[in-house]
Amino acid sequence: MPEGDAVWRAARRLHQAFTGQVLIRTDFRWPSLATTTLVGARTLEVIPRGKHMLHRVEVSGRGTLDGAWTIHSHFRMDGTWRHSATTHPPGAFRTPTVRAVLATAERTAVGDTLGMLDVVRTADEHLLVGHLGPDVLGRDWDAARAAAHLATASGTIGAALLDQRNLAGLGTIWTAESLFAQRISPWRPASDLTADELVALAVRAQKLIAGSLRYPLSTSTGDTRRGRETYVYRRLRQPCRRCGTPVSAGMVGTPPQDRNLFYCPTCQAH
Ligand SMILES: [Zn+2]
């Protein structure tokens, strides 16, 4: 599942290719957007917000539609945004999972398997992302505020880290890796952790995910070779890199929001 750093990379790629360029084709394959077109709009910026992407454009010369608009998307489990040269004939991108096509004269971006797609006035973005906690990769990052949110969570610390209202951007990779780094069991009640533990955990999560931005893929170890990217994530039954105990896994949260987290039973004993 794409996490904050994956969305950050995707947003950066689109930002670099689209900023300042005019859209010559917009195709939203989403029921509520069937009649929406942003042809002629110019891209101002593309930014990540937690696991959401905000593609901001400026419309002019269209009367009441003039002004700043945002194409909001969420990657959910398997979503992607990719772009390539605009050379495709009309009728291309007929794959049923394609949800959006945005083209400039130079580049065409395709949003596939997106979990959410909206077009809103930029002034109304908060209606879509206002519920998010401090963004681990955002300008508003605030470890103390994230820790304060975690302290009031009712469930386990594993579930609390995954709840985007507490802090935004972590999925199962960074939740597992951060808890391992801090030697905290995913099943400890969030309210049992001390204020210092929670702040240190939030700081660690941000450092790990931000550190991963230097690489083309998610890595907490700084090693991008296959199977060496993480300490515990997807390393079931392999020896813990710290103590040698076989890595284990278990569910946190309540269905249907429950997720599988990897951990070391020795380093992260209850
Ligand atoms: Zn261990």
Residue pair 175/154 in contact by the 8 Å Cβ criterion: no
Average pLDDT over residues 126-133: 96
CA of 240 relative to ligand 1 center, distance in Å: 5
Residues of the chain with CATH 3.20.190.10: 4-129
Taking residues 193-221, what's their average pLDDT?
A: 96
Q: How far apart are CA 110 and CA 179, in angstroms?
A: 35
Dist. CA 103–CA 141, nearest whole Å = 32
> What is the structure's pLDDT at 176?
98
User: If you measure from the C-alpha of residue 245 to the centroid of ligand 1, how many angstroms do you get, rounded to a whole number?
Assistant: 5
- Residues with catalytic roles: 2-3, 51, 259
Q: Enumerate the CATH 1.10.8.50 domain ranges in the chain, comma separated.
A: 143-263
Question: In the predicted model, what is the mean pLDDT of residues 171-178?
Answer: 97
Residue 226: count of CB within 10 angstroms of its CB: 7
DSSP H helices in 104-257: 126-129, 143-151, 157-162, 172-181, 195-211
CATH number of 143-263: 1.10.8.50
> What is the whole-number distance in angstroms between the Cα of residue 221 and the centre of ligand 1?
15
Kindly state the tokens that stand for 143: 């470890």
Residues with CB under 5 A from ligand 1 (ion): 240, 242-243, 245, 264, 266-267
d(CA 185, CA 197): 12
Can you tell me the mean pLDDT for 179-186? Answer: 98
Would you state the pLDDT for residue 222? 94
Q: How far is residue 27's CA from residue 75's CA, in Å, rounded to a whole number?
A: 18
pTM score, whole prediction: 0.91
Which pLDDT score, from 0 to 100, does residue 90 have?
64
In angstroms, the CA 83 to CA 102 distance is 9
The mean per-residue pLDDT over the stretch 179-193 comes to 97
CB 122 within 8 A of CB 68: yes
Closest by Cα among 17, 11, 36 to 26 = 36
At 262 the pLDDT is 98
Determine the distance separating the centroid of ligand 1 and the alpha carbon of 184, expressed in angstroms. 11
Structure tokens at 98: 């394609």
Residue 17 predicted with pLDDT over 80: yes
- CATH code of 4-129, in short, is 3.20.190.10
How far away, in angstroms, is 239 Cα from ligand 1 center?
Answer: 8
With 70 as the cut, is the pLDDT of residue 121 above it? yes
Return d(Cα 116, Cα 210) in angstroms, integer.
25
pLDDT digit string, tens, across residues 77-87 = 889 999 999 98
